[in-house]
């Protein structure tokens, strides 16, 4: 499915949009998160948080480049997670 149709699914609040996004960009988002976090569980959680963030931000905004929009969200969430994990109280 192309990006414009996926975005339209988000605007229609159709849950199929998340499934289509995962099918098309799931591996890419997981790769971005894993390269930052080096942990499968944390990267999977960041990918799921990415889908929630996309679900919450797309209705008011219409991204021109959907792939870079999703990658940016995945990267930012992964970096926030890494910062959280590296705090002095959290590290051993």
Domain extent for 15: 3-84
| Residue 62 confidence (pLDDT) | 86
Are 33 and 73 contacting, i.e. CB atoms less than 8 angstroms apart?
no
Residue 92 maps to a domain: no
pLDDT digits (tens, 9 = 90+) for 41-90: 989 999 999 999 999 998 888 888 989 999 999 999 999 998 888 876 65
Residue 44: CATH number of its domain: 1.10.1740.10
- Print burial letters for 80-90: b (CB count within 10 Å at least 16), e (below 16): ebbeeeeeeee
| Residue 77 confidence (pLDDT) | 93
| Residue 75 confidence (pLDDT) | 94
| Residue 89 confidence (pLDDT) | 63
Residue 91 maps to a domain: no
Residue 61 maps to a domain: yes
Residue 62 maps to a domain: yes
pLDDT digits (tens, 9 = 90+) for 26-36: 999 999 999 99
């Amino acid at each position: 499915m192309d990006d414009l149709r996926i975005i339209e699914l988000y605007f229609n609040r159709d849950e199929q949009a998340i499934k289509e996004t995962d099918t098309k960009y799931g591996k890419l988002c997981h790769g971005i998160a894993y390269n930052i976090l080096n942990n499968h569980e944390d990267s999977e959680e960041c990918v799921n948080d990415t889908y929630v963030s996309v679900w919450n931000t797309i209705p008011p905004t219409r991204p021109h480049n959907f792939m870079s929009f999703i990658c940016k969200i995945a990267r930012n969430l992964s970096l926030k997670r890494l910062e959280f994990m590296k705090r002095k109280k959290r590290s051993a």
